[in-house]
Every structure is written in structure tokens, then in C-alpha cells.
């Protein structure tokens, strides 16, 4: 057995890095013209120099006596002295203090192994390891601080926790703040040092319970390794949530049963900045919560949405706003869906919330004309983001179906009446962006239970588009519901199409068909109900579908533009896959939808027997933006599958359960700072079985981040996995926590450009889809029926993937980044604001949109706002070129801008120019338009005597080669000739030598 115990002591005071001196206190341009690659200088020389300096600063250096080392952490302004018996941390820039951490040994109830005289040392750069017979002590110095890791070679005998004993020796006052932090305070009661960030993992990367204890001056790290899989390791990468919240504690005066049934975490959403303070905010819904604002909590399932504001320290621990309907209605399920967009055009996002079982009075048609009716059809609420009220805002807008065109009492108030049929209007909502050209975001609303008002109407659902200028209209755009013929079922004349659940999910798309206008999408996950075929088939059999509706610039065309399908196989190849359960328009780095689409099919997978509905793991289908209108239907360009092991999935098959991969999808923006958009996918039933059935403490759900690439698709293996333990309060361990039921990418929480966080909801229960109110069919009921009931309190968790080189806010806000091609030169320009701790811009170029190289550096102005910058690339190659900015701060952290694309037409003739000419000591040969190949350069005098002959490789459209002047060359006239394949002469130029 071997165990790694990782803990990180670091200074709590912020580091202060002096600003880098700028040349002439103004902009300095250093382009690839001054730094030719073939002159022996890399275009990335500056970054390499800074990186080398940082490595030198972090290096651990030998000291005396033998076995001792010293190092300094400049970021934390702390010096360290390392020895086999432990280490000492000291700070001399403040009032002098130091703490010695003396390693006493490792054991269980008593110390069994202590550091002795026999050891070996492994040392390289910023890493140091003391190797003993039974354990190792490792030190790693980086900008986060000095990390101390303990690696235990084999399991120790005896019972109890694995314990590491350390004795701190210091004049500071030590306090154990929590089980993960021992803090040290000076005489002014100011915390100056913290020993924390403890993470323990086994060989399967399962987190092991571990905690810090401090008694009678002894610090102990205690690890429960009783359930560890051997051999055991600990992953020092922090994959624990950086923030979490639960219904317990948010609302006072409610019983445990009321809190547990609140479904807290049912929907989670990144709102953008809804209060105008410059920080990204988030919302968490609890559609099952009682009336806590306008009442005493006696009305069940009114629903609520909690808004958490961002700040430099992250999301607040308590919600800034609690939103509920002004008039509480029992069972309204307010918060079933949540989104945000700038609906009123004030530049601040507004919050859009669906309450699919809300009740109101409206007008319905009847046999005699019209009549007033009360319907439980659902509403959508829009809360202005700029509202400064500390509690529930009152100036909200209600969107609802109203008017005789939507409801009818039928004949005699019964036959074909849809008044008593719950439309579930607001079951899904989305801010679509601007559809009608008024620079305001419009709204799409799904109503998957809607039954039309006509004599031949069927309950197949509906979706409606509301333009921001008239949200209370009685005539919204009602999108065409897919018909039997559109589903390829024209040969079944008796098919009603009932039960499609059209509108179960909706979203904006961006420009899918490349006509310049934004489009929308609606999912119909249930497929068609074939029970009308006389018992041959029964239930929801066909694949779900999703449908895109094209924009015109002034609105949306209500007829189906194209239908998205999971495969092009036979009729039953994707039976009951729930394709369309979740639809998501992909957003670019600028936050705007780019025309790509992701669609979840949480019960997807090809089935060997259509009548034996074996449960599968689910998948997510990616559809890339088309170059033109695609026709009647489109199949997916990529399919993402659950990364769960096949052995687990086989167990779930025998249990008739499912992991529901793809039940939740959202944009993760760019979590790894590579310039490509990423995707987060929820899988809420990753275990879905009891401890006895699995014989393992499998986590109850996961969320995966799939990293994007230049093709618009994603890497098939997740770049990050988020999971968490719920504890022992569930009978079936974590199976019903539903971690991953909802997911969201949240941007800018700690400031403009901050790394995207992943917010994951874990409501611990699901809505009862089989009850008489929702009545959404047996397929959904079978998925969640075992999670309906009192399963514990819902929670939500925020994760920092730490996949970027830095998780700190962007050192600059880019207000504008553009460029233009002129005479085969690419002239870039950009405008900034909020420059803070910014060191430099590096301009990067790529020929394939994936592999970038640095071509120049631009230094910022000092102490300026809204500054204009420019850079000209005079060596751009022919064809398509990609450009981006790498913005680097004084701590060498960096982020990327969006990517610009240009196309340069290849010239009809190639050119070879000698410049400058005459020359003194070297000859600069500039090649333009030569094909990539190998060439030969020869330099002769007028008598034909050869002075230089050199082979060169042309790899770019524009390339400069330098030839050094031989000592034997006297002043005079020379000729430089370029030869191609088969010694063909390409050009000959006269060279004047001084």
C-alpha cells in the first residue's frame, strides 16, 4: 500500500508584485519582423524568459549540513528551510515570525514509523523528496505555496485512522479553524499563515475522509483508510467543490420534511451580471418549496429561486434575493426552469423563471361564444436584473397563454375541452438573444403538456416565441408541432401523434443555417405513441426529435426549418431514447450562440430488440452549424457517451436503471483557456443502486466537462469530472442524491474574465412525472419513480476545474478586438478597459485554428483606461489565417481573447526581394508566394566565383532568410540566384556589397 497525504501551508496576505517597467512608459511593439525565427531567436522568447525566471524563483536549493535545503516563495513572500525532520517557514518582510513543522512520525493510535538517519534524497528543480524505508516525504514549491506530501509505502498494522503527527514550534498563536485549516495568528490577532488544502485519494481516485486535529500543541492528520482500494494514492489536484449550498439554513422556520421536499438544486443557472457590479451571478431553484415570502409556509410546492451574487471572493454564502410569485399558488412549481437575458434592453440581464402549474383566470371559447375560466396552465415570470430590492422584486412581468385561441370548453363543457388539461407552460424557458432586430433578447417557452383547442387537437405539446417588445401579447409565435408525416409515419394513418412532449426543452441556437439570422430549437423527446395501432406496439417507442425554426431578422418563421435526429438508421434503431430531453445552443467565447447545437438523449443507445427496452447509459449528440440550409432533416456530427465503466453499466442493466448521461447540458465556455468552447454534461444516476447491489460506495451522480476543439466538436474523454459525497444519511448510498440533475457554466464570478466555474445541482428527488398534474407519460415516470419522496435535503456545488494556467481574473477587459486585411498585411486593433496588473499582450497566429505561435509582443500603457492598440502582421501566409491575443499579467497568469479569421489571396507570381540593399554584414532575402518546398540559394560575383551556397526550406507564404557575409567578400556587385527542383532558376537578384 502507498498513500499520499497532501497539505498546503500558505500565507493569507495577498502577494504584491511590482509592476513591470514599460519602455518609455508607453506602448512598445516587438513584432516577428524584428524577431526572425531563422535568426536563432524564438518568437516566444519573452515568455520563455519569464518562465525561466519563475522556475529559478521556485527552485529548491541544497544547503548545509547535508540533507538540508532552502527555497523562497516570492508569491507568498515566505522563505523555507527543509530538513529530514521537517521544515521551517519564515517571513522577514513583516514583523519577524517563523513556524517550524517538526515531523514526529506516522502510525495509528501511536507513532510506528519515525524519520530516521537512513534515507535517500530525490531532488530536481522545485521538487524534493526524502525516501525512507516505509514512507516518503515530498515537497513541491510553486506559486500557491510549499506543498508537503506524505507517501506511505504499505498499510500499517493495527486499527484506527492512519495518522501523521507534526509538532508546530512558534511564537505565533495556533488555532484550528476547521477540519481542513490550522491557522497561525500574530500578536495583533492577524492571521499570517495557514496549513490547509488537505486531499487524500485512493488508487481509484476515490476521495478518502481526512481531517486535521490540534491538541496540546500537536497537529495530526487523520485518514480513514478502512475502505481504501489498494494500492492507495492521493491525487493532489483539488477536485472538491470550492463552494456549496443547501436548502437547510437558507430558510428558517421550515420542517425537515418541507426542506427535503423543496427540490433545492432542481435548476441551476449562470445569470451573468444581473446587478451591474461587474461580477457574474448564479441562481438555484427549489420548485417544491413552500410559500416563504407571502405566507407562513402552509402552501406546498409554490417554488422559489435563490439568486447568489458574485464577488472578488466568489459566490456569497447567502442569497441576495429570494424570488417567488407575488401571489402564491400551491403546486405552481415556480423555478422548474430558469434562464437569463437582457429582455428590457438596459444592458443588464433579466431573470426568466417558469412556473408550469401556476393558476390564473382567462377567456376560453365555448359552444356559445366565450366564457371566463380558471386554468392551471402555467406562467413565466421575468424579473428585471437591475432591480435593487433586497427581497422579492415586485416589478416583474407575467407571460401566459391568454385569449380564446388557446383554450376551449369544448362541447357541453366536457368533450374535447382543454381547460382542465395542464399545458405546463413554462416547463422550459430560454432567452434566445435578439430575434426581431430591436437589440433585446426575446424568449422561447415550452409547454409539453399543451392540448390544442381545435376539434382534432391532440396533447402533443407546444412551444411559443415571445418578442421582448410585447411580452403580454395574446398572439405569440406558436411553433409548428411535428406531425406524423414529419416523423416519417405517413404509412400509419391512425397515428394521433399524442404524447410527443414537444416543448419539453427549448433554446436559442444562433445562426444554424448560415443565412445571417438567429434561429430557435424545441425538443420532442417522447417520440410518438403507437398504442393506437391496436396493441401491436405499446407506449413511447419512436426516437425523440428536435426541430429548428429559422429566423428572418425581424422574427421567427413558425414552420419547421429542419429536424434534428440522432441517427439515420431504421425506424426503431433509437427507440425510446428521449432524444430532445435537453437542447442547448452552443455559445462562443463572446457569449453569443454560434449555430452549433448539443442535444441530450439520456436513454439513448442502439437497441438489439426494439420491443425489449433495455436501459442504456444515455448520450449527447452534437450538430455543427451548416454552411447552407440543410434540408428536411439532419443527423448528428458527433456522439458523446458516458465515461462510466462498462462493468457498472452492466450492473445497472440488470437493475433496470439508468445513469441518464445527457439529462443536463450547458455551455462551459472555455474552462481550460485554449480558445475553444467546452461543454458540461450531467449524469444524475451514476450509481443508481444500493450499496448491497453494487458492493461499493459509488457516487450518486457526476458532471463531466468535455473540452472543445477547432472543429466544433469535443474530445471524447472528459477533461474534468465533478462529483461529491453525500454522506451516510442515505440508505442507498448516494443513489438518490441526483448529483448532476442540473448543470451550468457560470462566468465572471470573481471578476471580468475569471475562469468559468461549473455549478451542479443535486435536488435529492425528482418531480413525480406520473402524477395526475404532470402526466408526462410512463417513460419519464420509470426513470425517476424511485427518487420521488423524502430522500434528504437538496444541495448545489460549485467547482473550479483549475484547467487553465491560472484561475485568476483576466488582467484586462477587451472592449473590442478586430482587424482587416490590406495589401496582404493583417492589421489588428483592439480596445481595452480595466487594465489591472497587466504585463503584456502576445499576438498569436495559426494556420489551422488549433496550433498557434507567438508573432509579436505589445506592451500596455501605464495607468490608462479605454486604450487603443494595434499590431500589423506583414508576414501573413496565403490562405486562411487565425489570430488571437494572449493577455499575460505580472504573475505570468494568462487568458486568451476570441479568435479572428482572415483570408489572404495567393499572388499570381512569386517574389524574391533583397532588402536592405546595399548590404554591409548580412543579406536579408525576403520570399513571398513561393510554394512550400526545398530551395537552393547561390551567391556569385560578376566573374562567376561562388561565395555562398545554402539549402533552405520554405514553410510560409512570407519568409525571411538571413545570409552572413563571408570575410572573403570584398565590396562590389554580386548576384544572388534561387534554384528550385531540378536546378530550375526561380529568380536572380543583384546585391551591392559595401
**Inter-CA distances, 165 with 102, 115, 214, 228, 898, Å:** 9, 11, 10, 21, 50
323-358 tens-digit pLDDT: 998 888 898 999 999 999 999 998 899 999 999 999
**Inter-CA distances, 502 with 152, 249, 425, 837, Å:** 57, 38, 11, 51
Rank 40-49, 245-254, 377-386, 787-796 by mean pLDDT and report only the highest: 377-386
**Three-state SS letters, 783-802:** HHHHHCCCCCCCEEEEECCC
Rank 207-211, 248-252, 377-381, 819-823 by mean pLDDT and report only the highest: 377-381
Residues 500 and 479: beta-carbon distance below 8 Å: no
938-973 tens-digit pLDDT: 999 988 899 999 999 888 777 889 998 888 889 999
The whole-model pTM stands at 0.62
Distance between CA atoms of residues 658 and 783, nearest Å: 7
Distance between CA atoms of residues 843 and 34, nearest Å: 14
**Three-state SS letters, 839-905:** EEEEEEEECCCCCEEEEEEECCCCCCCCEEEEEEECCCCCEEEEEEEEEEECCCCEEECCCEEEEEC
User: Which of 247, 330, 332, 324 minimizes the C-alpha distance to 293?
Assistant: 324
**Inter-CA distances, 741 with 146, 423, 527, 737, 828, Å:** 38, 23, 22, 9, 44
Only one residue has cell 441576495, namely 320
Domains of the chain (ranges plus CATH)? 58-241 (no CATH), 245-487+494-800 (2.130.10.130), 813-904 (2.60.40.10), 911-993 (2.60.40.1930)
User: Which of 165, 158, 179, 161 minimizes the C-alpha distance to 227?
Assistant: 161
**Would you state the pLDDT for residue 783?**
55
Backbone angles phi, psi at 531, to 5 degrees: -65, -20
Distance between CA atoms of residues 187 and 95, nearest Å: 10
Only one residue has cell 544547503, namely 63
First to last CA, the chain: 75
The three three-digit cell numbers of residue 97, written as one number? 515570525
Question: Cα–chain-centroid distance for residue 728?
Answer: 30
The three three-digit cell numbers of residue 15, written as one number? 502577494
Distance between CA atoms of residues 65 and 677, nearest Å: 52
**Cβ within 8 Å of residue 573, ≥6 positions away:** 543, 567, 606, 607
- Cβ neighbours of 633 (radius 10 Å): 15
Distance between CA atoms of residues 581 and 501, nearest Å: 9
178-210 tens-digit pLDDT: 676 787 878 877 667 777 667 777 655 567 888
381-418 tens-digit pLDDT: 999 987 665 566 777 899 999 977 899 888 765 567 88
Backbone angles phi, psi at 519, to 5 degrees: -120, 170
User: Which of 265, 317, 264 minimizes the C-alpha distance to 289?
Assistant: 264
**Three-state SS letters, 231-291:** CCCCCCCCCCCCEEEECECCECCCCHHHHHCCCCCCCEEEEECCCCCCCCEEEEEECCCCC
465-509 tens-digit pLDDT: 999 999 999 999 999 998 754 444 444 433 444 578 899 999 999
If you count DSSP H runs as helices and E runs as strands, how many of each does the chain have, helices first?
5, 64
Mean pLDDT of 8-19: 38
User: Which of 467, 281, 270, 286 minimizes the C-alpha distance to 386?
Assistant: 281
**DSSP 3-state of 710:** coil
Distance between CA atoms of residues 905 and 825, nearest Å: 11
Distance between CA atoms of residues 411 and 423, nearest Å: 20
The answer, yes or no, to whether residue 831 has pLDDT greater than 60, is yes
Residues 679 and 667: beta-carbon distance below 8 Å: yes
891 against 493, higher pLDDT: 891
The three three-digit cell numbers of residue 281, written as one number? 451571478
**Inter-CA distances, 170 with 77, 98, 174, 193, 920, Å:** 18, 6, 9, 11, 67
Considering the chain, what is the average pLDDT of its residues?
Answer: 79
**DSSP 3-state of 981:** helix
**Would you state the pLDDT for residue 203?**
59
**Cβ within 8 Å of residue 988, ≥6 positions away:** 975, 976, 977, 978
The three three-digit cell numbers of residue 670, written as one number? 472555455
Q: How confident is the model at residue 281 (pLDDT cuts 50, 70, 90)?
A: very high
Rank 77-91, 248-262, 585-599 by mean pLDDT and report only the highest: 585-599
**Would you state the pLDDT for residue 982?**
79
446 membership: H or E segment, kind and range: strand 442-447
In the Cβ-directed half-sphere of 580, how many Cα atoms lie within 13 Å? Answer: 29
635 membership: H or E segment, kind and range: strand 633-635
Distance between CA atoms of residues 362 and 659, nearest Å: 41
The three three-digit cell numbers of residue 810, written as one number? 483576466
Residues 738 and 700: beta-carbon distance below 8 Å: yes
The neighbouring-strand residues paired with 194 are: 10, 183
138-177 tens-digit pLDDT: 888 876 678 888 888 778 888 889 899 999 999 888 888 6
DSSP assignment of 415-427 equals BT--TTS---TTS
Backbone angles phi, psi at 728, to 5 degrees: -95, 15
Report strand pairing: 742-746 vs 933-941. unpaired
Distance between CA atoms of residues 69 and 980, nearest Å: 59
**DSSP 3-state of 292:** coil
Distance between CA atoms of residues 271 and 843, nearest Å: 31
**Cβ within 8 Å of residue 959, ≥6 positions away:** 38, 875, 926, 927, 930
Distance between CA atoms of residues 356 and 358, nearest Å: 6
**Would you state the pLDDT for residue 852?**
77
Only one residue has cell 476521495, namely 207
Distance between CA atoms of residues 541 and 140, nearest Å: 57
Residues 30 and 843: beta-carbon distance below 8 Å: no
Amino acid at each position: 500500500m502507498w498513500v499520499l497525504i497532501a497539505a498546503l501551508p500558505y500565507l493569507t496576505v495577498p502577494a504584491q508584485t511590482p509592476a513591470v517597467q514599460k519602455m518609455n512608459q508607453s506602448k512598445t511593439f516587438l513584432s516577428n519582423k524584428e524577431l526572425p525565427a531563422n535568426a536563432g531567436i524564438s518568437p516566444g522568447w519573452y515568455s520563455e524568459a519569464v518562465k525561466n525566471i519563475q522556475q529559478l524563483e521556485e527552485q529548491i536549493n541544497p544547503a548545509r549540513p547535508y540533507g538540508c535545503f532552502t527555497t523562497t516563495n516570492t508569491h507568498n513572500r515566505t522563505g523555507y528551510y527543509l530538513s529530514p525532520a521537517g521544515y521551517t517557514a519564515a517571513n522577514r518582510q513583516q514583523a519577524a515570525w517563523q513556524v517550524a513543522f517538526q515531523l514526529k512520525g506516522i502510525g495509528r493510535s501511536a507513532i510506528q514509523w519515525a524519520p530516521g538517519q537512513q534515507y535517500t534524497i530525490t531532488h530536481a528543480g522545485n521538487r524534493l523528496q526524502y525516501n525512507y524505508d516505509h514512507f516518503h516525504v515530498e515537497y513541491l514549491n510553486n506559486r500557491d505555496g510549499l506543498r508537503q506530501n506524505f507517501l506511505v509505502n504499505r498499510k500499517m498494522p493495527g486499527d484506527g485512522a492512519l495518522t501523521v503527527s507534526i509538532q508546530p514550534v512558534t511564537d505565533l498563536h495556533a488555532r484550528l479553524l476547521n477540519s481542513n485549516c490550522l491557522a497561525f495568528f500574530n500578536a495583533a490577532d492577524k492571521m499570517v499563515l495557514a496549513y490547509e488544502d488537505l486531499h487524500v485519494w485512493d488508487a481509484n481516485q476515490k476521495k478518502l475522509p481526512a481531517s486535521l486535529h490540534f491538541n496540546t500543541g500537536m497537529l495530526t492528520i487523520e485518514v480513514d483508510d478502512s475502505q481504501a482500494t489498494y494500492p492507495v494514492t492521493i491525487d493532489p489536484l483539488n477536485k472538491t467543490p470550492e463552494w456549496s449550498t443547501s436548502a437547510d439554513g437558507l430558510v428558517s422556520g421550515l420542517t425537515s420534511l418541507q426542506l427535503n421536499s423543496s427540490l433545492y438544486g432542481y435548476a441551476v443557472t449562470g445569470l451573468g451580471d444581473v446587478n451591474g457590479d461587474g461580477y457574474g451571478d448564479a441562481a438555484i431553484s427549489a420548485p417544491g418549496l413552500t410559500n416563504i415570502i407571502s405566507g407562513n409556509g402552509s402552501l406546498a410546492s409554490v417554488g422559489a429561486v435563490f439568486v447568489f451574487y458574485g464577488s472578488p471572493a466568489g459566490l456569497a454564502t447567502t442569497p441576495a434575493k429570494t424570488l417567488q410569485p407575488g401571489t402564491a399558488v400551491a403546486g405552481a412549481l415556480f423555478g422548474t426552469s430558469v434562464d437569463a437575458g437582457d429582455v428590457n434592453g438596459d444592458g443588464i440581464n433579466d431573470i426568466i423563471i417558469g412556473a408550469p402549474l401556476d393558476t390564473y383566470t382567462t377567456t376560453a371559447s365555448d359552444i356559445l361564444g366565450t366564457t371566463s375560466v380558471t386554468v392551471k396552465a402555467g406562467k413565466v415570470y421575468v424579473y428585471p436584473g437591475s432591480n435593487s430590492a433586497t427581497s422579492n422584486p415586485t416589478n416583474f412581468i407575467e407571460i401566459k397563454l391568454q385569449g380564446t385561441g388557446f383554450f376551449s370548453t369544448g362541447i357541453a363543457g366536457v368533450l374535447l375541452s382543454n381547460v382542465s388539461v395542464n399545458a405546463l407552460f413554462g416547463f422550459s424557458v430560454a432567452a434566445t438573444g435578439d430575434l426581431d432586430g430591436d437589440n433585446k433578447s426575446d424568449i422561447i417557452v415550452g409547454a409539453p403538456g399543451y392540448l390544442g383547442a381545435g376539434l382534432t387537437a391532440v396533447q402533443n405539446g407546444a412551444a411559443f416565441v415571445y418578442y421582448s417588445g410585447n411580452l403580454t401579447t395574446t398572439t405569440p409565435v406558436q411553433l409548428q408541432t411535428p406531425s406524423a408525416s414529419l416523423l416519417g409515419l405517413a404509412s400509419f394513418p391512425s397515428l394521433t401523434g399524442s404524447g410527443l412532449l414537444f416543448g419539453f426543452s427549448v433554446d436559442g441556437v444562433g445562426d444554424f443555417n448560415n443565412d445571417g439570422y438567429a434561429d430557435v430549437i424545441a425538443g420532442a423527446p417522447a417520440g410518438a405513441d403507437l398504442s393506437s395501432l391496436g396493441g401491436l406496439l405499446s407506449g413511447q417507442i419512436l426516437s425523440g426529435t428536435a426541430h429548428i425554426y429559422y429566423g428572418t431578422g425581424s422574427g421567427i418563421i413558425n414552420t419547421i426549418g429542419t429536424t434534428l435526429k440522432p441517427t439515420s438508421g431504421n425506424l426503431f434503431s433509437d427507440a425510446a431514447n428521449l432524444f430532445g430531453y435537453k437542447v442547448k445552443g452552443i455559445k462562443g467565447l463572446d457569449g453569443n450562440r454560434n449555430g452549433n447545437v448539443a442535444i441530450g438523449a439520456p436513454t439513448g443507445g442502439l437497441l438489439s430488440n426494439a420491443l425489449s427496452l433495455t436501459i442504456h447509459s444515455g448520450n449527447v449528440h452534437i450538430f455543427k452549424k451548416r454552411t447552407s440550409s440543410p434540408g428536411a432533416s439532419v443527423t448528428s456530427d458527433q456522439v458523446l457517451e458516458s465515461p462510466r465503466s462498462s462493468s457498472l453499466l452492466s450492473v445497472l442493466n440488470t437493475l433496470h436503471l439508468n445513469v441518464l448521461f445527457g439529462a443536463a447540458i450547458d455551455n462551459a465556455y472555455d474552462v481550460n483557456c485554449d480558445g475553444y468552447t467546452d461543454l458540461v454534461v450531467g449524469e444524475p444516476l451514476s450509481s443508481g443502486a444500493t450499496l448491497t447491489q453494487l458492493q461499493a460506495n459509488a457516487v450518486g451522480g457526476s458532471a463531466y466537462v468535455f473540452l472543445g476543439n477547432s472543429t466544433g466538436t469535443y474530445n471524447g474523454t472528459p477533461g474534468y469530472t465533478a462529483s461529491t459525497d453525500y454522506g451516510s444519511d442515505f440508505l442507498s448510498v448516494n443513489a438518490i442524491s441526483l448529483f448532476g440533475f442540473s448543470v451550468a457554466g457560470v462566468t465572471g464570478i470573481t471578476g471580468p474574465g475569471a475562469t468559468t466555474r461549473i455549478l451542479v445541482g443535486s435536488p435529492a428527488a425528482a418531480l413525480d412525472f406520473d402524477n395526475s398534474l404532470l402526466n408526462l407519460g410512463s417513460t419519464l415516470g420509470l426513470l425517476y419513480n424511485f427518487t420521488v419522496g423524502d430522500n434528504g435535503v437538496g444541495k448545489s456545488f460549485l467547482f473550479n476545474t483549475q484547467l487553465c494556467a491560472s484561475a485568476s481574473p483576466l488582467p484586462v477587459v477587451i472592449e473590442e478586438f478586430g482587424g482587416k486585411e490590406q495589401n496582404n498585411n493583417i492589421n489588428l486593433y483592439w480596445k481595452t478597459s480595466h487594465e489591472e496588473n497587466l504585463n503584456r499582450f502576445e499576438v498569436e497566429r495559426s494556420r489551422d485554428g488549433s496550433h498557434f505561435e507567438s508573432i509579436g509582443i505589445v506592451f500596455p500603457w501605464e495607468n490608462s483606461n479605454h486604450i487603443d492598440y494595434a499590431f500589423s502582421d506583414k508576414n501573413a501566409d496565403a490562405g486562411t489565417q487565425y489570430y488571437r491575443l494572449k493577455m499575460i499579467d505580472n504573475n505570468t497568469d494568462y487568458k486568451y481573447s476570441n479568435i479572428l479569421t482572415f483570408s489572404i489571396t495567393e499572388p499570381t507570381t512569386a517574389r524574391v526581394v533583397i532588402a536592405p540593399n546595399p548590404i554591409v554584414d548580412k543579406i536579408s532575402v525576403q520570399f513571398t508566394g513561393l510554394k512550400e518546398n526545398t530551395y537552393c540559394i547561390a551567391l556569385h560575383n560578376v566573374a562567376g566565383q561562388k561565395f555562398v551556397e545554402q539549402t533552405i526550406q520554405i514553410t510560409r507564404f512570407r519568409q525571411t532568410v538571413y545570409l552572413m557575409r563571408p570575410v572573403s567578400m570584398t565590396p562590389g556587385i554580386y548576384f544572388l540566384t534561387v534554384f528550385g527542383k531540378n536546378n530550375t532558376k526561380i529568380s536572380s537578384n543583384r546585391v551591392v556589397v559595401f
